[in-house]
Structure 1
Amino acid sequence: MSDVDISKLREWIGKSVDDSDELSVRHARLMAATIGYDTTPIEKGAPLPPLWHWIYFLSGLPERELGHDGHPQRGGFLPPVPLPNRMWAGGRVKFLKDLPLGAEVRKRSTIQSVEHKQGRSGDLVFVTVRHDVSLGSELAISEEHDIVYKEASSGAPAKQEATTVKPDLRETFLASSTTLFRYSALTFNGHRIHYDQDYCRSVEGYPNLVIHGPLNATLLAGYAQRLAGTPLKSFDYRGVQPALLGNALSLNAVRKADGFSLWTGLPNEHIAMRAEAGF
């Protein structure tokens, strides 16, 4: 049996932290340059594109307060889960009000749940964090973010999920090491799986650098909004398997009555992330 003491970890449920930030136009323009987004609409007062709030509210801890993986040491806001690998697993986002670039906004983050499960590779701990982003007195974004902690990969290939569904629409995004570096810098994400190949291979068991889960989600959300030509109301997403550098991502969409079913595709129709976008 593992060393996971779920009762101890659940003592973190209800823990909250507050933050505030300005939705800097300059920072948004850097994000646009990173993913090849048209910078023309990126100006003060324009609505923040979907999921770009992730490039704000950054925690700038000194390096001595980081763990070996580049993430903040555990046991602060997030519980001290004793499993080595941490991944962005998925989430559910509701967009209630546009956030204008240049605005001052506030965020409250709360540990909502901590769950222990058994997976194919061993112990898994899922921590769900609720984020509420407000503009003045009005709630603008309500989000549930799932983080998964797991054992180090064995090096054996994981079971891969594929699809036989043909998309109604598809486009391709090719990430480079520069893309990953820039996105890590924009989000102040020190997780070494995105820039340190030796660490990826020898410690966490990935054969190459890992494309950020939130970058996958941001690409899908932006694609859905461009296709619909109207702002997103909801976006639910789930990581299926890591997308590794060197593989072009296909952004796939199937039309539904109220939105799109989406996925990022890898070679041989394998799936990195699934999502549902509502309008």
Structure 2
Amino acid sequence: MDLDIDHLRSWIGREDSASEVLSPSLVHQFNATFDRTSGEAPGDIAPLLIHFCLAQPAVQTAGLGPDGHAARGGFLPPVPLPRRMWAGGEFTFQGDIRIGEEVRRVSTVRDVVLKQGRTGPLCFVTVNHEVTSDGRPVLNERQDIVYREAQNVAGMKTTPAPATVGDDVMQITPSAAYLFRYSAMTFNGHRIHYDKDYVRDVEGYPGLIVHGPLQATLLCQFAADLKERAPKTFRFRSLSTIFDTADFTVNAQTEGETMKLWTAQLGGPVAMEATAAW
């Protein structure tokens, strides 16, 4: 497939923005989804990474592509490769979002790069998100998105080594209800997270896929719980896929003022690895 990288790079510099007031009801739903407790009254500090549920793009249903994502060529460049995945990113925390404040997101396409992978071309799109709460800078996020050719996992011939177990471990059951709740909160229409027939018959996967942002949220919250305070920076990258076919673990290993974290399906390889720093 020929990709016109010059045309795709013309999207660099494009911006998108939106704002939303963080309500106590959304925090209540967020805590219920993650089986957590926190303050839910106006003025209380919001849970880490709840910004994924706020000010998200809301494309009309008629404007969605066959995979449930927004059709190509709006804010993000129209990369013609069929599979779009969240490859990783980094957060720098500058302050706290508080319940009842207006959260504003300003997103900018920073780079578009074409590379050649083992299975074909890969197109990486880097997006920067600046998040403010009642006008105060609270978070800067770099998001790495990768586009690639379709690949049926059943045809993969390599079997990565199983992940090690961390010093601290939490086990999660990725039920269909759990994944659907998170999709609903983040207004994510991507069918791989809730439509089992689609993900199996069209994309060739054995089960529903656990969201990258959901894994990042679990890892970041786990780090903050263990350290008893939010990190200053949190960076991560996705290495493999977690399906709803078995439980997965959230792992941590403290190394001084940094913490290594990772997720892995039971008996499977590392799915997402992360580093939190204070």
TM-score bin, normalised by smaller chain: over 0.9
Query: Structure 1 residue 212 and structure 2 residue 214: aligned?
Result: no
Counterpart for residue 115 of structure 1: 113
The answer to whether the Cα contact below 8 Å between 2:12 and 2:111 also exists between their aligned partners in 1 is: yes
> Is contact 2:162–2:267 with CA below 8 Å preserved after alignment?
no
Say if 1:242 and 1:30 are closer, same or farther in 2 by CA, change over 3 A.
same
Partner Cα separation in structure 2 for residue 93 and residue 159 of structure 1: 32
- Structure 2 CA distance, aligned partners of 1:11 and 1:171? 43
User: What is the deviation of 1:197?
Assistant: 1.6
1:103 equivalent in alignment to 2:101: yes
- Which residue, out of 115, 131, 134, partners 1:133? 131
* Structure 1 position 278, deviation (Å): 1.2
TM-score (normalised: structure 2): 0.95
Q: CA RMSD in A?
A: 1.5
Segments of 5+ residues of structure 2 without an aligned counterpart are: none
Aligned to 1:4: 3
Compute the displacement of 1:24 (Å): 1.5
CA distance in 2, matches of 1:125, 1:264: 25
Percent identity at matched positions?
42
Alignment-derived partner of residue 53 in structure 2: 55
Whether the 8 Å CA contact 1:34–1:179 is kept in 2: the answer is: yes
Structural mapping, 1:223-234, within 5 Å: 223-234=222-233
Match of 1:65 in 2: 63
Paired positions, count: 277
Counterpart position of 2:77: 79
Gaps of 5+ in 1: none
- Partner amino acid for 2:220? A
Aligned to 1:265: 264
Q: Distance in 2 between matches of 1:186 and 1:24?
A: 12
Q: In structure 2, do the counterparts of structure 1 residues 34 and 166 end up closer, same or farther at CA, with 3 Å as the change threshold? A: closer
Tell me whether 125-134 or 56-65 shows the greater mean CA deviation.
56-65
- What's the offset of the Cα at 1:137? 4.0
Q: Which amino acid counterpart does residue 131 of structure 2 have in structure 1?
A: V
Question: Letter of the aligned partner of 1:182 in structure 2?
Answer: R
Q: Report the TM-score when normalising by structure 1.
A: 0.95
Q: Contact conserved, 2:18 with 2:57, CA < 8 A, in 1? A: no
Deviation, structure 1 residue 267: 2.4
- CA displacement at 1:19 relative to structure 2: 1.3
What amino acid is the match of 2:223? A
The question of whether the paired residues in 2 share the 8 Å contact of 1:50 and 1:232 is answered with no
Kindly state the Cα deviation for residue 263 of structure 1 after the two structures are TM-superposed. 0.1
The amino acid across from 1:45 in the alignment is G
In structure 2, the CA distance between the partners of 1:7 and 1:160, relative to structure 1 (3 Å rule), is: farther
Contact 1:169/1:254 (CA < 8 Å) preserved in 2?
yes
Deviation by residue 1:233-263 (Cα, 9 ceiling, x = unmatched)? 1110111111100221111101011131000
Structure 2 equivalent of residue 30 of structure 1: 29
Per the alignment, residue 171 of structure 2 pairs with 172
